Amino acid sequence: MIDARNFTYMFYGFAAAFVILVVYVVSLALREHKLRSEIDRVRRMVEQSEKKI
């Protein structure tokens, strides 16, 4: 019983590390996507302002 719990918690330990890294990588990817669309939006805004002038 103790050995089985021991093995299960070892799995939890490795899984926790993996999940933390995956969550961080996904958050980075989402942030990158948001920044790229924001850059495009602001560039268009600058171009429109230049055309008006």
* Radius of gyration of the chain from its Cα atoms, rounded to whole angstroms: 23
43 belongs to the binding site for other proteins (CB under 8 A): yes
Handedness of CA 39, 44, 45, 49 (dihedral sign): positive
30 belongs to the binding site for other proteins (CB under 8 A): no
26 belongs to the binding site for other proteins (CB under 8 A): no
| Integer Cα distance of 52 and 34 in angstroms | 27
Interface ranges with other proteins (CB under 8 A): 2-3, 5-7, 9-10, 12-14, 16-17, 20-21, 24-25, 28, 31-32, 35-36, 38-39, 42-43, 45-46, 49-50, 52-53
